[in-house]
Structure 1
Amino acid sequence: MTSFTDKAHSAEHLMRTLFPATPLQRNDHLSGMYDADIWLKREDLSPVRSYKIRGALNAMAKALARDPEARVFVCASAGNHAQGVAFVCRHFGVKGVIFMPVTTPRQKIAKTRMFGGDNVEVRMVGDYFDDTLGEAKRFCTDVGGHFLSPFDDLDVIEGQASVAAEIVEQLRRSPDMIVLPVGGGGLSAGMAQYLRDVSPQTDIWYVEPAGAASLAASLDAGQPVKLDRVDNFVDGAAVAQIGRLTFEVLKSAHADHVLAVPEDRICSTILEMLNVEGVVLEPAGALSVDALKDLRDEIKGKTIVCVTSGGNFDFERLPEVKERSQRYSGVKKYFLLRLPQRPGALRDFLEVLGPDDNIARFEYMKKSARNFGSVLIGIETSSPQNFETLFSRLDEGGFAYSDITSDETIAEFVV
C-alpha cells in the first residue's frame, strides 16, 4: 500500500509538469523583528498566486487516470479554488464549469476566465456561497461531471501536501516550527500529515481568523461543527465548517497550538508586508505572518517557516484594510459629539485638538428644533496616547461625546 508520504512526493513531481517549486525565502525583516530565523514559503507566487492550484492539479490528474473519458469538471468557489481549477482545466484541455456567487468581485471573475480560456464556463449563481455550492452539485449530478472540492477530498489533500515536501527539500533540514493558515483544512491537513511522518520533531501551529475559527470549535466539540456566524473578511479562510476528511487528520492537533487572530490586526500585517517588504498578501495569505505576534516567546532563536498561502489581493480593498488597521492600532477613532447650536461652538471644539490630531471625517446633523446638534467625527493621530489627551480636554471643556470606534452595530451604519 502506498504511504501518504509517497503520495505527497508523487504530487510534488506532478507539480513540476506545470510550474516550478514556489520559493522558500528567508525574511530578514521578520527575522530581525522576532530574533529568529524566519522563512516564508511563497505560495502567493504560484501561477495563480495561491496554493490551490496544487490540489486541483492532483485531483484532476487522478480523476483523468481513473476515467480518461472524463471531460466535465465542476466546482464552486468565489476565489482561489476557482482560479486553480480554471488553470488546470486549460492545462488538461478539459471542460470546466465554475459556479461563483453573484457577489464575487469582478476582478476574481475576470482572472478565472483568463486562466481557463475557452475551456472554462463561469456561471454566476446565488447571493451566498451555500446557494452557489448547492447549484454546482446539482448541475454536476445532472451532467455526470466530476466535482472538485476545494479541501474535503483526499486527492486535494495530497496535492496540498506537496508544499511541505518542497519545504523540507528546499530548507535541507527540519524547521523547528511551521505556521499554517487554516480554512477548510486542505492545506493544513496535507502538510501536517506529511510532516508527522517526515519531520515529527517540527512543531506545527495552526492559525485561523477570529471570525471563522472552525478548527478550534471542532476540536472543542470533538467533531466538525458549523459556526453560527462567520466574518467573511478573510475570505480565503472564512469557512463555517472544517472538512470531514481534513478534521480526521487535524483532530489530533493540540488545542493550545490553534490560534485565532483578529481580522483588524491582520490588516496591519498586510500593510507592513506591502510597505516594508513589497510583498502583496491577501488576508488569508497574511495569517501565518500575523500569528508571529502571538508566538514571540515561542520562536526566539528558532527556525520558523510561515506559509504565505495567497496573494490575490484586490487593491480596491486597500482603503478598508488601512481603516481597519488604524482602528486596531488605536491611531484612529470615531465618536459622536453633541455641539450646542450657537456661533463659535465648532471653534471651541477645534481648539481642543492636539497638533497631531487630524479630522478625517466630519458630519454635522443639525436639528432646527433643538439646542444641540449631533456630529460624527473621525480623528486620525500619530499615537494612541494622543486620544487620552484629547478626551481629557473634551471632558474639561464640558463636551458630551461617545466613542463608537468599537461599537460594531453603530459603526456598520455610520463609518
Structure 2
Amino acid sequence: MQTPAPIPPHAGSGPFADAVADAAAALRPLFEPTPLQRNALLSDRYGADIWLKREDLTPVRSYKLRGALTAMRKALALRPGARFVCASAGNHAQGMAYACREFGAQGTIFMPVTTPQQKIQKTRMFGGDSVHIELFGDYFDQSLRAAQAMAQDSGSVFLSPFDNAEVITGQATVGHEILDQGPPPDLVVLPVGGGGLSAGMARLLSERAPATRFALVEPAGGASLHAALAAGQPVTLPTVDNFVDGAAVARIGDLPFATLSRFVPADLVLAPEDRVCATMLEMLNVEGIVLEPAGALAIDALAELAARGQLSGRQVVCVCSGGNFDFQRLPEVRERAQRHAGVKKYFILRLPQRPGALREFLNLLGPDDDIARFEYLKKSARNFGSVLIGIETTHPANLAALNDRLRQAGLDWRDITGDVVLSEFLI
C-alpha cells in the first residue's frame, strides 16, 4: 500500500498558520508546550526515529483544553459575559470547565447519567463554581440534544468539541508546537474522533510543512471518517463501540470533514479495540506512560504502518492525545489485551454428569494452562451439564493444543471468546 499523499502544498506560512500562532501565544501564559519525546523502545522496534507528542501532560491531561480555551477566548472578546454550554462525557467537558474557571465565565456541561463518577468529579474539580453539571440521558446523543436546546433557548454559546472553527484552530496548536520543537517530521500519526485535531493539524502543516505526510487512526468500532470518505460525505454510523470513548464518534464533524475529505480510506488505520488494550498495557508496564484508549491510538497504529513500509528510516511523530484513564477499567483492559494476544479464551463445555468427569477434563490441561473462570450454567440436567470455563495460558499455541486434546477426548465444547452477544451476557 502506498504512503498517504501529503496535503497539497502551499508556499510558506498562511492565514491559518498565522491564526494558530496567535492561539499558541495566547495559551503560553496558561501552560507550557507539552513535551515532544523520542521513544527508544518504539524507534528500535520499527527502525525509525519515533517521537511522542505528550498531550496527556496538559493541565487536564488531553489536547481538548487547547480548543476550549481558544474558542472561549474568542467568544468572550465578541460577547463579554457570555455563558457557555457543551455536552461531553470526558475530555472536552474538563477542557471547558478549566476554561470557564480561567476566564471567569459561567458554563453548563451536559453529561449522560451513565458517566463514571471519576469523570464527573474531575470536571467539577477543574471548573469549581464556574460550571454547573447537568446529568441528562443515558447516551451522549441525548445529552447533546439537550445542550443544544439549552444554548438556543438561553442565548448561550454552544461549544462543540470539534465542529467549531476556533476549536479546530486551538487544536492545531499541537502542530505549531511540534514544528517549534524540531524539524518537520516525515510522518505524523494522528488519532481521529470528531476530526478537530486531525483537521487542524492537516491545515496547519499544509501551510508550514507541506512535505509532511499523515496517517490517521480510528477505532475499528467507531470509524466515522472512514465511512464518510467511502460515502463522500459525513454519515452517521448505526452502532459504535464506545470502548475508545475519546474517539468513538458516530459522525465526523462537518467542518473537519471539509479538510479531511482530501484523504482516501486507504490512508487510514482502523485499530481493533482489543489491540489498543495491548498497546495501553505495554506503554504502562514498560514505559510508565498512562494513556487512555484514544491516547494510545497513534502508537497502536505503528505496527500496521510498519507492515505497509511507511516507517523505516523516517522521523515519525505520534500524538498521544490523552491520559485520562480510570484505573477501575484496568481489569477490562487486561482481559481484552489477553484476548488479542490469543492467550485467554472462554469455552462452554458440555460435561457428563457423573463422578470423575471434571477430573478427566482437568487432566487435559497443559502445564501452563490456568482456569480463570469456572461456572456451572445449568445444574439441573440429568445426564449433561454446561460449564463456562475461562482459560489463561502463556502462549497461543497452548490453547490450540488444548483444542486438539478436547477433540480427541470426544468432549463437546464451544469457543465463545469472539461471540460478542454470548460474551457480554455470560462474561
TM category (shorter chain) comes to over 0.9
Contact 2:339 2:345 in 1 (8 A): yes
Counterparts in 2 of 1:206-355, with a 5 A limit? 206-296=216-306, 297-355=309-367
1:181-220 aligned within 5 A: 181-220=191-230
> Letter of the aligned partner of 2:41 in structure 1?
H
The answer for the alignment partner of 2:411 in structure 1 is: 399
Scaled by the length of structure 2, the TM-score of the pair is 0.95
Which of the pair has the greater relative contact order for Cα pairs under 8 Å at 6+ separation?
Answer: 2
Instruction: Give 2:152's match in structure 1, choosing from 103, 117, 141.
Output: 141
Q: How far 1:214 moved relative to its partner?
A: 0.6
Give every structure 1 segment of 4 or more consecutive aligned residues whose post-TM-superposition deviation is greater than 6 Å: none
Cα distance in 1 for residues equivalent to 2:305 and 2:408 = 42
Counterpart in 2 of 1:377? Answer: 389
Who is 2:4 aligned against? none
- 1:96, CA displacement in angstroms? 1.0
Structure 2 letter corresponding to 1:361 = R
Distance in 2, Cα, partners of 1:160 & 1:368: 60
Q: How far apart in 1 are the matches of 2:220 and 2:272?
A: 5
TM-score, normalised via structure 1 length: 0.98
Q: Percent identity?
A: 63
Within the candidate set 85, 89, 93, 2:96 is matched to 85
**What do the CA deviations read for 1:329-381 (whole angstroms, capped 9, x no partner)?**
10000011111111111110010100000000001234444201111100000
**Cα distance change, pair 368–158 in 1 and its aligned pair in 2 (3 A):** closer
Distance in structure 2 (CA, Å) of the matches to 1:303 and 1:29 = 14
SS at match of 1:183: coil
User: SS of 1:299's equivalent?
Assistant: coil
How many angstroms does 1:394 deviate by?
A: 1.0
Contact 2:236 2:251 in 1 (8 A): yes
Distance in 2, Cα, partners of 1:333 & 1:118 = 48
**Corresponding residue SS for 2:251:** coil
Aligned residue number for residue 356 of structure 1: 368
Task: Give matches, 1:8-23, under 5 Å.
Answer: 8-23=20-35
Kindly tell me: are residues 233 and 369 of structure 1, through their superposed partners in 2, closer, same or farther at Cα, counting changes over 3 Å? closer
Further displaced range: 159-168 or 248-257 = 248-257
One of 103, 121, 132 as aligned partner of 1:110: 121
Equivalent position of 2:8 in the other structure: none
Compared with structure 1, are the counterparts of its residues 366 and 77 closer, same or farther at alpha carbon in structure 2 (3 Å cutoff)? closer
Contact map agreement 2:81 2:105 (CA 8 A) in 1: no
Segments of 5+ residues of structure 1 without an aligned counterpart are: none
| TM-superposition CA deviations, 1:63-122 (whole Å, max 9, x none) | 01112232x111110000000000010000111111111000000000000000111111
The DSSP-based 3-state class of the residue aligned with 1:123 is strand
Counterpart residue identity of residue 186, structure 1 = G
Kindly state the Cα deviation for residue 403 of structure 1 after the two structures are TM-superposed: 0.8
Kindly provide the amino acid, as one letter, of the partner of residue 36 in structure 1: A
Gaps of 5+ in 2: 1-13
CA contact (8 A) 2:162 2:196 kept: yes
Query: Which residue matches 2:138?
Result: 127
How many pairs were matched up? 412
Mapped contact 2:17–2:204 kept (Cα < 8 A): yes
CA distance in 2, matches of 1:327, 1:380: 9
Shift of 1:311: 0.2
User: Structure 1 residues 105, 350: CA separation in 2 closer, same or farther (over 3 Å shift)?
Assistant: same
Q: Could you say what secondary structure the match of 1:272 adopts?
A: helix
In the alignment, does 2:111 pair up with 1:100?
Answer: yes
